[in-house]
A and B are shown apart, each in its own frame.
Chain A
Amino acid sequence: MSLTPNQSGQKTLRKYYRKYLWYFLGGIVVLAGANVFLGMSPWLLREAIDSLENPSLESLAPTDAFYGMQHAMAQTATGVLPWFALAIVSVTLIAGVFRFFARRTIIWASRDIEFELRNEVFNHLLKLSSRFYQRTPTGDIIARLSNDIESVRLMVGPAVMQLINTVMVSIVAFYYMIKISPTLTLYALIPLPLLSIAMWQIGQQTHRRFMKIQDHFSTLSTFVQESMAGIRVIKAYRREKYQQKKFEGVNREYVRLNLDLVKVRALLMPTIVFLVRVVVLIVILIGGGDVIKGTITKGEYVAFMAYLLMLVWPMLAIGWVISLYQRGTASLARLDNLLREVPDITSPAEPVHPPQIAGALRFSGLSFTYPDSNVQVLHDIDFEVKPGETLAIVGATGSGKSTLISLLMRTYPIPDETIRIDEIDINRMALDDLRGMIGFVRQDSYLFSDTIAANIALSQPKVDMDAVHEAAQVAAFENEVESFPQKYDTILGERGITLSGGQKQRAAIARALLKQPRILILDDAFSSVDTQTEELILERLKASRGNITTLLISHRPSTIRRADRIIVLDGGTIVERGTHDELIAKQGRYYEIIRRELLSSELEMLD
């Protein structure tokens, strides 16, 4: 495992650390305060015990912090005890207030960082293009956005708090321990190097194994997500058992990887406990000897032990911190992979803002190959569309029609000067301008699980019902929506699943129309709409938006022949162009493609 992803991941976090610096500094101060007060408690204990042994206060160093207080109240041992008791409670109370603020600062900030980091990643995701989404399953992204961010948070919040706490406790405890007996403290420190070596080893292993778990968690999420989304197919073909079996495999592997991590992680706590006990042992042996020799008092000895015990839990917590740190960096690397994905389609630095779009299109010498594929889909495409004209693109399945028009939206990078709108290269336009002027109805259009109104008004900041009605009217969707019990407030299922195929398509058409586009693209947008309704829509479209440039893909002759001109694609090359009549007369490829439809009807005519 190289360290590079780790480090660059930390770079991602650095800005957050900087932003919340005051919270962390505050946390340090507050934790220091808490521990100073908590540290007094064993000291008070020492005083109390020693007062039992030796009620006179002569042995106390005059520098002692409680000298005055004790002096005042120490008459007899029993007389002084309630005061000690009260002091113990008071320091804990004060420490408690500090502790409250420790959580309020550091953990608080970690939630803020989590929030902002999640926003940052999501915002970045919105900028990435089709190319990225083609190879990244959404289940994987969800896993990162929820699971990995959480483990990063555990690193920046609880782990940091614990670490600071441990350092503070150590300082305080060592302060008192050294004060009691420097040599004994030194002996107590002997196992420390061993501890750090063990931790380092375990930490390294944790990182690697945790990374594998998270990767597999993505696989698991993707599988589950897909099994839910494809449920209709699974049910229709009775593949439930098969999916369950497959899931069992994925599930089992997840468990196996987790247990793999446990093998290492399980060592952590017992190892630390063991080494801590070694320290206790050393102290008993040597410290006990010291008491016998009289170099330290019994009270000091008890207090020394108490400080040691005070260190036990923070030390154990260090094991936890290491585990969290290693998980956090592994997850951070996975998030960083997303963040380092460079958006390959961006607005140019100095975009040209076209003043008034007439809607002329020109494709010149456009060839295209999908990234991550080696088959050229489009070859040297040349054509133009005049403002207000309707052009139909015809061709067999897979001939490249959708690819051709989606490039107009800059879904994939294309060479300069290959597509122009009003003679401006689309690569030189701002993305928002370009996409804002085109109404694009995709072949497999996607609806959101929101109200019908919100879906149609997607392009608007606020739903304007008049515009929605108008667009739905043109898309011949209005009457149907009005017949739904909730009308435009009907909430759709995921992907619009609760609408019929044709209703979905018309919702998508209405949505594109509401954008008031200069250029309208209809990619097989009527395939699930009956011919009658389609005719109606095309008529209304012509009446209300007659002057917009339209690109039309369809397999229906009735639709195609309405176009001003037609281009015919075959294997990614334009093989014919002209009007419907011209192309029919030519009896070429176009005629061949739509002949079948005519032929079968013609046969019928003979009856």
Chain B
Amino acid sequence: MQDFRDEDKLGKGYDGQLMRRLLVYLRPYRLYVGLALLLLLVAAAAQLATPYLIKIAFDDHIAVGDQDGLMLIAIQLLGIMCLEFFTGYGQIRIMEWIGQSAMFDLRQKIFNHIQSMHLGFFDKNPSGRLLTRVTSDVNALNEMFASGVIDILGNIVTLVGIITVMFVLSPKLSLVTFIILPLIVGATFVFRKRVRDSYREIRIMIAKLNAFTQEHLAGINEIQSFVQERKTMDRFEGVNTELMYQHKRSILYYAVFFPIVELIGAISLALIVWYGGGQVVQEVITFGTLVAFIQYVEMFYRPIRDLAEKYNVLQSAMAAAERVFNILDTKSDISVPEHPKPLTNFTGAITYSDVNFSYNKDQRILHDISFDIKPGEKVALVGATGSGKTTSVSLICRFYDIDNGSIKFDAIDIRDLDPQVVRAQIGLVLQDVFLFSGSIRENITLGNESISEEQMMAAAERVGLAPFVDRLENKYDHRVGERGGSLSVGQRQLISFARALAYNPPVLILDEATSSVDNETEFIIQKAIKKLFEGRTSLIVAHRLSTIEEADKILVYHKGRIVEQGKHEELLKQQGVYWRLYQLQYQDQEVTRAT
């Protein structure tokens, strides 16, 4: 088994594809992208006009001492400024709106996708890591969605504009200016690779840190009662250190990169002064042109620098995108048939034939399991711990797919049915109780509006939860805390039991549903269930044999095989595994009967 705490490093050279996939999320907003771009163009034009106006101010007015003309220029500038303000504001709002909307879509998509994954996926991915994918990895894409694409387009447009103006003003001088452009491109590429590598590591480390935090705070009780605060702290520090180290690595790249870009800009400026200055002296160009050029170079290098910076910042987004798409590309192992067969009037007959199953390839858990449940039968699964009972019942819900053999509902293979239809037939009380941090009511109905208040309360009544709830101040609105932490374990189990009853399914599966409940309450529940589920199929996993004796059929599990099956009396007669199990309880009874 692969160490599930580690994430696989992804292959490289994913870029173009990645970008294209990200852009898909902008497609629904392309009109707005267009609008933002338009505003950006206006703003860029306004920006471009300013040095030009200054040039005119210089050559036409200041040089000849024309105060009024200068005033006119000022008024024009004022107009441009107002234009710039409003287009700027509008553009930022639209861009952010687009970005937020795209992130909303993506976040929703990842969440939905993860929810649709098969259970094996969750066995291998800690919830803290999945949380990171939905939250901070998506947020890391903000830069890219909100401003990235538009800024890049905008910068390119601005560049083209500047280049045009410069060429119009003086082609020669322009050529001299652009001669070192390849240097910038080269520098950017060199840095891109390095920075991306450290961002990749950073994304992994963040997920690791979150998973660690999630896990160890959820287990804080264990840490404290085993006095493991120090060790936990040390390990946290270890992960934290790795994260810091990667961050620092990226700092170094940036620290080198930016000055280099600036230096390249200065070389350009120097060339203009040298060559352009000479041209002014030779009166090839005017003095104003030189001044305008100097400003344009400033302006020219800014978007370039921006582009280069954005490009590198985008590396962070790309690293996050890699992880996000990696999840989106992982398909659920449980395939939904294209044309699922209908399951009409399900009678409750369930057949297992020669089922083999393994969670991981190297360890088979179930071997040739075959049994037959007739409609309305009560079947009990017994056997030592780890013998495969829970596994067997979870296969009925199609949580995992079997290796070979078949499981059938009324002679239809469950793989030919829609898993949703399969699960709709079953009320499953899991061995591992899970409660959400809402109210008791929400935990019973799980937000299903078709369950009326009466049905919900009736279910609570049946499992003997009602007296407890009545004593609570807020009754069914009582909040149970994360994982039901403010309730006793037995109470949590009762709620999860009530849940199954409230859904009133054709088939009931109880996986040690009352293991932490006292005998009295258990007895009450049993009576209630018996009445309620008369004529319905049920599967019961239990260790207390008193729960089992009345079953129509008992399946005795041993190391992943069914070693005996039959009715209670038959099995006792066989004097096999079941008989031995029973002996223990029998002994027990002798003691008490003697008194």
Contact = CB atoms under 8 A, between A and B. Distances in A.
Interface string A521-565: 000100111111101000000000000000000011110010000
B275 to A, nearest CB: 8
A74 interface: no
Nearest to B389: A500
A100 B255 contact: yes
A601 B589 contact: yes
30 contacts: A53-B287, A78-B281, A86-B270, A104-B252, A118-B240, A122-B233, A125-B217, A130-B220, A146-B132, A228-B131, A232-B434, A233-B434, A238-B423, A244-B108, A262-B100, A281-B74, A281-B77, A285-B74, A298-B287, A302-B294, A305-B54, A313-B302, A436-B227, A486-B1, A500-B385, A533-B385, A555-B516, A558-B588, A597-B544, A601-B589
B127 A494 contact: yes
A571 to B, nearest CB: 10
A217 B107 CA distance: 13
A598 B503 contact: no
A265 B522 CA distance: 60
B116 interface: yes
Interface in A87-109: 88-89, 91-93, 95-97, 99-104, 107-108
Contacts of A248: 108
B178 interface: no
B111 A244 contact: yes
A284 B54 contact: yes
A266 interface: yes
Interface string B212-252: 01111111111111111101110011001101100110011
B78 interface: yes
B491 interface: yes
Contact of A598 (B123, B432, B589): B589
B214 A225 contact: yes
A459 B266 contact: no
Nearest to A91: B266
B420 interface: yes
Contacts of A443: 489, 516
B229 A119 contact: no
Interface in A186-226: 217, 220-222, 224-226
B295 A593 contact: no
A236 B397 contact: yes
Interface stretch (B13-21, B27-35, B81-89, B409-417): B81-89
A438 B229 CA distance: 16
A398 interface: yes
B115 A234 contact: yes
B221 A130 contact: yes
A289 B483 CA distance: 75
B171 interface: no
B259 interface: yes
Interface string B23-60: 00000000000000000000000000010001001100
B386 interface: yes
B339 interface: no
A224 to B, nearest CB: 5
Contact of A103 (B139, B255, B263): B255
Given A111-B251, A237-B499, A122 B236 contact: yes
A267 B463 CA distance: 59
A366 interface: no
B482 interface: yes
B161 interface: no
B130 to A, nearest CB: 5
B475 interface: no
A239 B447 contact: yes
Interface residues of B, number: 191
Interface string B516-537: 1111111100000000000000
Contact of A52 (B269, B280, B420, B518): B280
- Among A102, A220, A232, A486, find the residue whose CB has the most chain B CB atoms closer than 10 A: A232
Interface stretch (A10-18, A137-145, A465-473): A137-145
Contacts, number: 518
A266 B89 contact: yes
Contacts of A267: 89
A228 B423 contact: no
Interface in A581-607: 581, 584-585, 592-598, 600-602, 604-605, 607
Interface stretch (B62-70, B181-189, B342-350): B62-70
B11 to A, nearest CB: 24
A446 B543 contact: no
A183 interface: no
A435 B546 CA distance: 38
Contact of A440 (B81, B111, B225, B448): B225
A281 B592 contact: no
Interface stretch (A167-175, A416-424, A501-509): A501-509
A415 interface: no
A132 B383 CA distance: 40
Interface in A357-372: 370
B376 interface: no
A125 to B, nearest CB: 6
Interface stretch (A1-9, A65-73, A268-276, A327-335): A268-276
Interface in B84-121: 84-86, 88-89, 92-93, 96-97, 100-101, 103-104, 107-108, 111-112, 114-116, 119
Interface in A289-311: 289, 291-292, 298, 301-302, 305-306, 309
Contacts of B74: 281, 284-285
B97 A259 contact: yes
A495 interface: yes
Interface in A469-528: 480, 484-486, 490-491, 493-495, 497-503, 505-506, 511, 515, 524, 527-528
Given A122-B233, A485-B360, 8 more contacts: A84-B270, A99-B259, A108-B251, A115-B240, A235-B399, A270-B88, A500-B386, A532-B580
A162 interface: no
A458 interface: yes
B4 A493 contact: yes
Nearest to A370: B486
A333 B254 CA distance: 30
Contact of B546 (A284, A403, A601): A601
Contacts of B81: 274, 277-278, 281
A108 B485 CA distance: 41
A425 interface: no
A461 B233 CA distance: 13
A85 B274 contact: yes
A181 interface: no
B173 interface: no
B26 to A, nearest CB: 15
A93 B595 contact: no
A374 interface: yes
A398 B490 contact: yes
A448 B62 contact: no
Nearest to A497: B123
A220 B119 CA distance: 22
A572 B564 CA distance: 44
Contacts of B254: 103, 107
A281 B53 CA distance: 11
Interface in B268-305: 269-271, 273-274, 277-278, 280-281, 287, 290-291, 294-295, 298, 302
Nearest to A555: B518
B565 interface: no
A187 B260 CA distance: 35
Contact of B225 (A84, A125, A373, A409): A409
Contacts of B219: 446, 448
Interface stretch (A56-64, A250-258, A383-391): A250-258
A238 B273 contact: no
Nearest to A285: B74
B209 interface: yes
A558 B585 contact: yes
Contacts of A598: 589, 592-593
A81 interface: yes
Nearest to B261: A96
